[in-house]
Amino acid sequence: MTLRPLMARFESATHEPHPLSSEDGLELGLTRVVRAGSSDETRPVVLVTHGQTASTDMFVLPETRNFVEVLLDAGFEPWLFDWRGSCRLPYNESGTPYSFDDVALYDFPRAVSAVRARIGSRKLFVVAHCVGALTLAMSLSAGLVQNLAGVVAQGVFLTPKLAFGSRLRLGFMADLVRPWVGNVPVDFRKVGLRSKFTPLFALASIGADCPDPTCQILHNSAWGSGASLFVHDNLHPTTHDRLADLLGPAPTCILPHLRKMELARSVVRWNEGDDRYRALPANALDQAHRIDCPLLLLSGSRNGLWLDSNKLCLDVLKKRQPQLDVRYVEVPGYGHFDAFTGRSAALDVFPYITRWLSERAQPTA
Question: Is the pLDDT confidence value at 117 over 80?
Answer: yes
Question: Is the pLDDT confidence value at 2 over 80?
Answer: no
Q: Which carries the bigger pLDDT value, residue 139 or residue 91?
A: 139
Among 78-82, 164-168, 212-216, 337-341, which is the least confidently predicted range? 164-168
CB contact at 8 A, 88 and 8: no
Angle at 138 between CA 321 and CA 157, to 5 degrees: 65
Helix (H) or strand (E) holding 29: strand 27-35
CB contact at 8 A, 103 and 145: no
Helices (H) and strands (E) in the chain, counts: 16, 11
User: Whole-angstrom Cα distance, residue 282 to residue 57?
Assistant: 33
Question: Is the pLDDT confidence value at 176 over 80?
Answer: no
Give the residue-averaged pLDDT of 3-11. 81
pLDDT, tens digit, 9 for 90 and up, residues 199-229: 889 989 998 899 999 999 999 999 989 999 9
Q: Which carries the bigger pLDDT value, residue 119 or residue 4?
A: 119
Give the residue-averaged pLDDT of 42-66. 96
Question: Is the pLDDT confidence value at 364 over 70?
Answer: no
DSSP code for 159:
S
Question: Is the pLDDT confidence value at 323 over 90?
Answer: yes
Question: Is the pLDDT confidence value at 247 over 90?
Answer: yes
pLDDT at position 38 is 65
pLDDT at position 69 is 95
What residue ranges do the domains of the chain occupy? 13-161+267-361
Question: Is the pLDDT confidence value at 149 over 80?
Answer: yes
DSSP conformation letters of 306-357: TTTHHHHHHHHHHHH-TTS-EEEEEETT--STHHHHBTTHHHHTHHHHHHHH
Beta bridge partners of 32: 16, 79
Question: Is the pLDDT confidence value at 39 over 80?
Answer: no
How much of the chain exceeds pLDDT 70, in percent?
98
The pLDDT confidence band at residue 1, using thresholds 50, 70 and 90, is low
Residue 154, SS3 per DSSP: strand
The pLDDT confidence band at residue 345, using thresholds 50, 70 and 90, is very high
308 CB neighbour count, 10 Å cutoff: 16
Residues 6+ apart with CB under 8 A from 133: 51, 151, 153, 154, 155, 156, 157
The pLDDT confidence band at residue 328, using thresholds 50, 70 and 90, is very high
Q: Regarding the domain delimited by 13-161+267-361, which CATH topology (the fold level of the hierarchy) does it fall under?
A: Rossmann fold (3.40.50)
Question: Is the pLDDT confidence value at 294 over 60?
Answer: yes
pLDDT at position 230 is 97
* Top mean-pLDDT range of 6-20, 177-191, 313-327: 313-327
End-to-end Cα spacing for the chain: 46
User: Whole-angstrom Cα distance, residue 223 to residue 255?
Assistant: 11
Question: Is the pLDDT confidence value at 12 over 90?
Answer: no
Across the chain, mean pLDDT equals 94
pLDDT at position 98 is 95
Residue 66, SS3 per DSSP: coil
